[in-house]
Chains A and B, each alone.
Chain A
Amino acid sequence: MKYTNPEIKQDVNVSKGHPLAEFLRLLAGVAILITVAGIVLAVSIGWAVQFVPMSFENELAGRFSQSTPADSPQRDALQDLADRLIVHMDLPDDMKITAHYVDGDTVNAFATIGGHVVFFKGLIESMKDENSLAMVMAHEIGHIEHRHPIASLGRGIAVMLTILAIGGASGTQVPEGLVNQLGLFSTMTFSRSQEREADTTALQAVQQLYGHVGGSSSFFRYAAALSERNPPEILSTHPDPGNRVRKIRDEATVAGWALDGPRTPLADALTKPALNADSQ
């Protein structure tokens, strides 16, 4: 018998195809999977929040932060403004709005679960009159009225779970920071349609409180400043401020509301915080 060991033919044990092509195909497939799963989750959560009782949301909020705000004359002034706006808004009975004042230079205000609206000193200082501030306040209350904070929280958790599930299924090391970033990002933001919804609600409340919608432009300067701080346009969740101004103007015109009128000055506690602190 004649024995031979033939040369090993190349690529017998290795599938053909370029690794990059395989990578791109897989990436596209999984991206579609994640997107579809994410959209389905986000939509179903957005729909389901209406069944979450407000009492549960309040309890949830209490677990994360203190529900009773630190007392200050500024807070009282903000709460007073909120209370006057709520009269013209359509809040359910178990929905309570609590205003918070933060002594920080950030030009920001936000609404969070449990009916809490938080205002930073920086934002209030950038407002010329109460009408402008009322627009922001009504906008944040509008978010709460439409249950946006709890929807965002649910969405954030859903996004985190989706990423973790896919990371777990694939055994890939999805960097923990990335998961947290994505989850937090979707928790802290409202979608463009939610912003518009809050705008419409806010405008109506402001109109009913003051008899005109003057001062709402200051609110959009604030929105512009907000989007400037979030550089990547694609990640910006607020609609273009210019578009919002136009849209609001259109809405007001259609409804036959006055675009401006006598402005109401800001409460003393908000304009002279230092003086008030001294007099205490």
Chain B
Amino acid sequence: MEFLIQVGLVVAFLFLGFVFGQIAEKRHYKSIIKREKTYGRVMMFGAKFPDSDISARDASLVTGSAVVSIDYFKRFVTGLRAIVGGRVRSYETLVDRARREAILRMKQQADDLGCNMVFNIKIETASISKGAGKAIGSVEVLAYGTAVAGSETPST
């Protein structure tokens, strides 16, 4: 009987994790896609400094960070995946969402400052479960760069 309760608990957690995890993920992606369209007006550059054909002013640091947690279902699937190997699909959406969310927040900050370009973009990922063992299964993504209000000058 106790055995069945234990198994039932795991199944219940898996079910809850799956349902709520899927709802949260769908909702988040919907919001990400919508805001990416909105903040498409803020351009991103990997280069450290604007090219000579861009006249830029008002440089300031902009940052955006996002923390996304996995659910019980994803953790379970990843555990099974760790035995046999292969692409960890359940973590791909997690990292993808965190990265896009962090960039969006950075862009939003740049937009609020009246900037339309962000240079020298860096993205850092930190697992905040480090040291906390299995208690937390979350990932933090920090995106930062130099925002400027720039305009393209006609090339000579």
Contact = CB atoms under 8 A, between A and B. Distances in A.
Contacts of B100: 8
B18 to A, nearest CB: 7
Nearest to A2: B152
A181 B3 contact: yes
19 contacts: A4-B43, A5-B44, A7-B36, A13-B95, A14-B89, A14-B92, A15-B92, A19-B74, A23-B77, A26-B84, A29-B80, A29-B84, A169-B83, A170-B80, A170-B83, A171-B134, A177-B2, A181-B3, A232-B4
A22 B89 contact: yes
A203 B97 CA distance: 69
A33 interface: yes
Contacts of B43: 3-5
B152 A1 contact: yes
Contacts of A36: none
Given A3-B43, A14-B89, A175 B9 contact: yes
Contacts of B76: 23, 172
Interface residues of B, number: 44
Interface of B: 1-4, 6-7, 9-10, 18, 22, 29, 33, 36-37, 40, 43-45, 51, 53-54, 73-84, 87, 89-90, 92-93, 95-96, 100, 134, 152, 155
Contacts of B53: 1
A182 interface: yes
Interface string A170-186: 11110101100110010
